[in-house]
Chains A and B, each alone.
Chain A
């Protein structure tokens, strides 16, 4: 109960609380738009975190929230650098007697005072978000695959849209501007599965075609250049295997 999604939701709320206090000290308000960047792990990318974001939108704490996820295994950033410093300090110690000594150790881990954390807080109580959100969560298939999610308000309800990668142009599913007039109608437009195209992990198949200088892989006979014709033939041979490889990777990613 106290780990995974529950802990993450609690940390998000604690962070918003701390940010609000910090901005208040400077005479500023909490911005209406928030961008969260997470690791692409199950602890962060789950239904409960999505439900929390939707709740924050529906209760008008924010107008727009974006949740972006970096690709697994390629997420190292400057926080990791700080963790490296912490790990070294912990390894150097023979014995850490209590949670309090651990806390103070983390506080002074970095030699440079400017780089030390501004807030160092122990989460004592973790609410049971999983059970709280269980009755209202929509189950959406393949929800773990896309890398960008956007939460906004539409007819008084929070809606979640996704993009496979941030450079993609449109948020999916597209907002039903014309047909929907009431919040109940909106529920009819909710999706059960995320639509995944072939070669979605590289953007689109056309990008691979462009990279291989292929304009149409079915027109190999009409190509006069022998080298290009061979490339088209090779691509046609290997394409099913690439599809299987991608599918396997997506399934592995789902079970992470």
Chain B
């Protein structure tokens, strides 16, 4: 049982309502931003100018139709994934590949030499990793996860090596 000295939920609701013009929701799920149409429609619904219920209904229907489009996109994606499992004369017809990247992580580069001791603010060179995962489907190989990752030295761009691309396509040994 909560002590009587604690504010009830209603108190918070009232304060939240009173301050509703002073804050804006970021419109994100964790670190993932939500889509601009949904964000703008939500902002539009929050504005005081359009308190008319019929207007609100139209905006909600607009948003709902937009969400329906997303659902159709997902269905299309699943259909592609299923079609990729088909075979024609024992050979795969198509492949499906879904790419996604993981949030980058950064760490310090070990320092050497006389200036190896640096303050936290003084650290200029960091190492960043980038993990890209993918899920592919082709013939009977369904939902296979593949990971690629690479490391970059941040703020050391001058030392990176530029490789000419020209010979690449003339020797397509990989394919």
Chain A interface residues (CB < 8 Å from chain B): 1-3, 7-8, 11-20, 22-23, 28-39, 43-44, 55, 59, 61, 66, 68, 70-80, 82-83, 86-87, 90, 96, 99, 102-103, 106, 115-129, 131-132, 147, 165-167, 201-203, 207-208, 211-212, 230-231, 234-235, 237-238, 241-242, 245-246, 248-250, 252-253
Q: Which of B2-10, B12-20, B94-102, B114-122 forms part of the interface with chain A?
A: B94-102
Are B100 and A22 neighbours in the complex by a CB distance under 8 Å? no
| Bound Cα distance from A116 to B146, whole angstroms | 9
| Bound Cα distance from A125 to B161, whole angstroms | 9
Contacts of A3 in B (CB 8 A): 130, 152
Which residues in chain B, 104-161, are within 8 Å of chain A measured between CB atoms?
105, 107, 129-136, 138-139, 141, 143-152, 157, 160
Which of B34, B59, B93, B102 is in CB contact (< 8 Å) with A238?
B59
Contacts of A250 in B (CB 8 A): 36
Q: How far is the CB of A229 from chain B (nearest CB, A)?
A: 11
Which residue in chain B gives the minimum CB-CB distance to A210? B65
- The verdict on A117 contacting B133 (CB below 8 Å), with A7-B150, A37-B98, A71-B35 known, is yes
A sample of 22 inter-chain contacts (CB < 8 A) reads A7-B150, A23-B92, A35-B84, A36-B99, A70-B77, A72-B33, A73-B35, A77-B98, A77-B135, A80-B100, A82-B133, A103-B149, A116-B145, A122-B149, A166-B73, A202-B65, A234-B58, A238-B58, A238-B59, A245-B37, A248-B40, A250-B36
Contacts of B157 in A (CB 8 A): 1
Q: How far is the CB of A238 from chain B (nearest CB, A)?
A: 5
Q: How far is the CB of A83 from chain B (nearest CB, A)?
A: 5
- The verdict on A11 contacting B95 (CB below 8 Å), with A18-B146, A119-B147, A211-B65 known, is no
Are B74 and A15 neighbours in the complex by a CB distance under 8 Å? no
- The verdict on A73 contacting B34 (CB below 8 Å), with A202-B69, A238-B55 known, is yes
